Amino acid sequence: MDGTNSTAAGVTGGVDTHKDLHVAAVVDERDCVLGTRSFPTTRQGYRQMLAGMRTFGQLQRIGIESSGSYGAGLLRYMQAAHIKVMEVTAPDRHDRRRRGKSDDLDAQNAAHAAFAGQRTVTPRSRDGMVESLRVLRVCRKTAVNARRIALQLIQTTIIAAPDGLRDQLRHMTRMQLIRSLAALRPDLSTYRDLEAAYRIGLKSLARRYLELHDEIADLDVMISGIVNELVPDLIARNSVGHNSAAQLLLTAGDNPERLKSEASFAALCGVSPVPASSGKTIRHRLNRGGDRAANSALHIIAIGRLRTDEKTKAYVARRVAEGHSKLEVIRVLKRYIAREVYGIIMRRQKQINMTRPLLDK
């Protein structure tokens, strides 16, 4: 990729991201490919990529595939260099079937998409506290899954244990069982004996469960601290817990201003109304798209308010009496909650942006 003889016209870049190498392409102001080249996924490689693109002319913007995974490092580097970055979504299947697939073609398709403004969205920036929250949430999710598996293994092991051992453990509560098993002191030299092997195995699983339990508790403290600092007003609202607030923050991202309106946030959460009318029947159905984790968080908040908030109870009863189904009313309620959440997040983001210049000084 060398365009030292090119004019200073505006150009657009596209990158197909991979673990070890990124393939970059550049198109001119007529959407014609000027060059394609691969670069290592290091800071030096990012620097060479940016310099190589700029040899073709003034770099207007760049389209990156998988900016949330393989392209995360490149995204942060380009944003730090004040380059406009667009995330390129999945390529058109019919076009790929017709033209075939290669890394060079994928990079060129990303550049074409960024040039035309098609199949592109503004990516979430990954350089703030929300990104820290995402990392902690991923760790917590995997720890919860591992703890559940450990508990299931304990229960299935006890079912098949010798009668004497099973009778000692079968009537205990969960935490009584876990702590009793963790406190066992089996003779490790007798591992060939069947009951001793069961005791050794159950003790190992119980200690694993307790270690994961403590790990989850530590992560919960850190997650709650970030959420309380970022959106204290959201936590103060009825039925909004730290897990739900954390998920909605992740959906909005570190740069929620990329969302043009509260309607776009609702669509992102999968709670925007979808027309499902036919003939004389005018209705809307549930939106099955969007971020399903955010949709689940809004659903939890809606169910909590339906149980505890008198105004919500009266609203649902009135809409059901008008002939709407309960699912339709909950869909509308989730839409209202999305509007409320969006307003809180955007007000908080404005406060953070106002204080940031003062902190920089």
The CATH number of residue 104's host domain is: 3.30.420.40
pLDDT average, residue stretch 51-75? 92
Instruction: Return the bridge partners of 61, or none.
Output: 12, 84
Are 166 and 251 in the same domain? no
- pLDDT, one tens digit per residue, over 151-172 is 999 999 999 999 989 999 988 9
Domain ends where: 61, 87, 121?
Answer: 121
| Beta strand residue intervals within the chain, DSSP E | 10-16, 21-27, 33-40, 58-65, 84-88, 120-121, 274-275, 284-285
Q: What is the pLDDT of residue 44?
A: 96
What string of DSSP letters covers 148-211? HHHHHHHHHHHHTS-HHHHHHHTTS-HHHHHHHHHT----GGGTTSHHHHHHHHHHHHHHHHHH
Q: Is the pLDDT of residue 9 over 90?
A: no
Are 222 and 204 in the same domain? yes
b/e per residue, 224-254, with b = 16+ CB within 10 A? bebbeebbeebbeeebbebbbbbbbbbbbbb
> Taking a C-beta distance cutoff of 8 angstroms, is the pair 34, 28 a contact?
yes
Look at residue 351 and tell me if it is in a domain. Answer: no
Q: Is the pLDDT of residue 39 over 90?
A: yes
SS3 state at 96: helix
Look at residue 357 and tell me if it is in a domain. Answer: no
Are 300 and 259 in the same domain? yes
> Taking a C-beta distance cutoff of 8 angstroms, is the pair 46, 53 a contact?
no
Q: What is the pLDDT of residue 96?
A: 66
Task: Report strand pairing: 84-88 vs 58-65.
Answer: parallel
Domain ends where: 195, 215, 230?
Answer: 230
Look at residue 354 and tell me if it is in a domain. Answer: no
Are 74 and 55 in the same domain? yes
Are 143 and 108 in the same domain? no
pLDDT category, 274, cuts 50, 70, 90? confident
Are 217 and 289 in the same domain? no
Q: What kind and span of H or E run contains 341?
A: helix 326-360
pLDDT category, 77, cuts 50, 70, 90? very high
pLDDT category, 174, cuts 50, 70, 90? very high
Look at residue 247 and tell me if it is in a domain. Answer: yes
> Taking a C-beta distance cutoff of 8 angstroms, is the pair 68, 126 a contact?
yes
What are the φ/ψ torsions at residue 142 (nearest 5 degrees)? Answer: -70, -35
Q: What is the pLDDT of residue 334?
A: 94
> What tokens appear for 117 in the block?
């403004």
Look at residue 335 and tell me if it is in a domain. Answer: yes
**Domain encompassing residue 262:** 233-346
> What tokens appear for 199 in the block?
């005791």
Are 15 and 113 in the same domain? yes
Domain ends where: 70, 91, 121?
Answer: 121
Task: Report strand pairing: 120-121 vs 33-40.
Answer: unpaired
Look at residue 172 and tell me if it is in a domain. Answer: yes
Task: Report strand pairing: 10-16 vs 58-65.
Answer: parallel
Look at residue 3 and tell me if it is in a domain. Answer: no
Are 195 and 242 in the same domain? no
How many CA atoms within 13 Å lie on the side-chain side of 328?
Answer: 16
Q: What is the pLDDT of residue 68?
A: 85
Q: What is the pLDDT of residue 328?
A: 84
Are 150 and 188 in the same domain? yes
Are 328 and 270 in the same domain? yes
Are 136 and 224 in the same domain? yes
Are 150 and 183 in the same domain? yes
> Taking a C-beta distance cutoff of 8 angstroms, is the pair 119, 89 a contact?
yes
Say whether pTM exceeds 0.85.
no
Q: Is the pLDDT of residue 357 over 60?
A: no
Look at residue 2 and tell me if it is in a domain. Answer: no
Q: Is the pLDDT of residue 282 over 90?
A: no
Q: What is the pLDDT of residue 331?
A: 87
- pLDDT, one tens digit per residue, over 292-344 is 999 999 999 999 999 999 999 999 999 999 988 888 899 889 999 999 999 99
Structural domains counted in the chain: 3
> Taking a C-beta distance cutoff of 8 angstroms, is the pair 120, 113 a contact?
yes
- pLDDT, one tens digit per residue, over 237-256 is 999 999 999 999 999 998 88
pLDDT category, 349, cuts 50, 70, 90? confident
Report the largest interatomic distance among the alpha carbons of the chain, rounded to a whole angstrom: 86
> What proportion of the chain, given as a percentage, has pLDDT over 90?
70
> What tokens appear for 270 in the block?
């999968």
